[in-house]
Amino acid sequence: MQLINTNFPNDKYINNNSNNFNSLQALILVPTRELALQISSNVKEIGKYLNVQCMVSTGGTDLKEDIHRLRNHNSPVHVVVGTPGRVLDLSSRGVMNLKYCGIIVLDEADKLLSQDFKSTVEQIIECLPMNRQIMLFSATFPSDVRKFKEKYINNAVMKNLMEELTLFGVTQYYTYIEEKLKLNCLHTLFQKLEINQTIIFCNTTKRVKLLAKKIIEMGMSCYFIHAGMEQADRNKVFHDFRNNACRCLVSTDLMTRGIDVPNVNVVFNFDFPKNSETYLHRIGRSGRFGHLGIAISFITDDDLQNYYIIKKELDTDIEPMPQNIDRNKYVI
């Protein structure tokens, strides 16, 4: 994880604007609603003794509810956790007042500063006061983040914890396999491993739905999730899986961004990822909260080039999967 920040908004600015305490003071931007819900629950827990009011504002939900909440002056909102598109929409309508919002956090900054979100994020920043504080949190630091840093926070303080935290507690394995044998291999591993919960990653929505169907036919409980689903369905799947209602979740890379499910001790790359950033985020779903976990990647001939590139870029050991995996490496 990397943290980049500027100085805190100065006290003189805050003290000279008494309305600031009844206005939005911090904005946390995230790429997905699932992550927004998770972070907002943490904010509420941390801020409950200070009476900090936090709301979630993301696309795919009722806009009128957000407008009503922000206009309720009897209970002003101090922190908003939201996705960039919805936040910019509310700001453009004059509903979300960013005038006194001195703190903005970009969680999963590498994703937020990719082409999908960058323009929207920059428009939001232009609505903030000049002496704002910008904080970026990311497990990777690609060129998009570097360019943003140079433009907006060239006096940044940088905390790099990656050397001590990267893949800590996660043992990585691969199995070299033909595409047609993947399903049988997965079935065998389900029987051999002591899986509490597992997330199985595929590269396309079509593959996610097909694999989930096959796993159910094996007699396993299984959910699936992808960005093309209705938001209400995504919310239910994430909530139920996080509360241990199901053992398996098949997912696209939607579930790679900061989602914490404490009981996940095994991650499968049923389809091997295309780049090191995706690989790192995927296997990081295991071994959360100081627990141990394993990540198993299925590699075909078509994946070999990506495998060697990712291994080199991350400078990490991905071992051949042994006949028997030591349970002490992953059993919670």
Higher pLDDT, 305 or 23: 305
Q: What share of the chain is helix, strand, coil (3-state, %, to 5)?
A: 40, 20, 40
C-alpha–C-alpha distance, residues 222 and 237, integer Å: 10
pLDDT of 15 strictly over 60: no
pLDDT of 254 strictly over 80: no
Are 145 and 189 members of one domain? no
Q: Tell me, what amino acid is at 205?
A: T
Residue that finishes a domain, picked among 163, 197, 227: 163
C-alpha–C-alpha distance, residues 195 and 312, integer Å: 29
The SS3 assignment for 280 reads: helix
Are 159 and 176 members of one domain? no
Are 15 and 143 members of one domain? yes
Residue that finishes a domain, picked among 105, 130, 163: 163
Residue that finishes a domain, picked among 163, 190, 208: 163
Are 186 and 322 members of one domain? yes
Token look-up 């900061």 returns 258
Q: Tell me, what amino acid is at 35?
A: L
Are 104 and 232 members of one domain? no
pLDDT of residue 127: 95
pLDDT of residue 11: 45
**Mean pLDDT value across the chain:** 87
Are 87 and 223 members of one domain? no
Confidence of residue 1 (pLDDT cuts 50, 70, 90): very low
Q: What is the DSSP string of 30-62?
A: -S-HHHHHHHHHHHHHHHGGGT--EEEE-TTS-
pLDDT of residue 181: 97
Q: Domain limits at 324?
A: 166-329
Q: What is the tally of structural domains in the chain?
A: 2
Q: Which of 17-21, 68-72, 141-145, 288-292 has the lowest mean pLDDT?
A: 17-21
> What is the number of other CB atoms lying within 10 angstroms of the CB of residue 293?
24
Q: 205 burial class (0-12, 13-18, 19+ CB within 10 angstroms)?
A: middle
Are 23 and 8 members of one domain? yes
Dump pLDDT digits (tens) for 148-175: 988 898 788 887 765 555 566 889 999 9
CB 79 within 8 A of CB 102: no
CB 26 within 8 A of CB 96: no
E-assigned strand segments in the chain? 2-5, 26-29, 54-57, 79-82, 103-107, 133-138, 157-160, 170-176, 197-201, 222-225, 248-251, 264-269, 293-299, 319-320
CB 274 within 8 A of CB 295: no
pLDDT of 147 strictly over 60: yes
C-alpha–C-alpha distance, residues 183 and 70, integer Å: 49
CB 123 within 8 A of CB 116: no
Are 134 and 193 members of one domain? no
Tokens representing residue 128 in the block: 């903030």
Are 120 and 226 members of one domain? no
Dump pLDDT digits (tens) for 40-58: 989 999 998 888 999 999 9
Higher pLDDT, 143 or 272: 272
CB 331 within 8 A of CB 197: no
pLDDT of residue 64: 94
33-65 core/surface letters (b: 16 or more CB in 10 A; e: else): bbbbbbbbeebeeeeeeeeebbbbbbeebeeee
Are 125 and 273 members of one domain? no
The three-point CA angle 29-33-36 to 5° equals 50
Backbone angles phi, psi at 209, to 5 degrees: -65, -40
Are 131 and 273 members of one domain? no
C-alpha–C-alpha distance, residues 314 and 325, integer Å: 23
pLDDT of residue 163: 55
Dump pLDDT digits (tens) for 102-123: 999 999 898 899 888 999 999 9
Are 183 and 322 members of one domain? yes
Confidence of residue 8 (pLDDT cuts 50, 70, 90): very low
Q: Tell me, what amino acid is at 17?
A: N
Confidence of residue 134 (pLDDT cuts 50, 70, 90): very high
CATH code: domain of residue 295:
3.40.50.300
pLDDT of residue 10: 47
Confidence of residue 86 (pLDDT cuts 50, 70, 90): very high
CB 286 within 8 A of CB 201: no
pLDDT of residue 16: 40
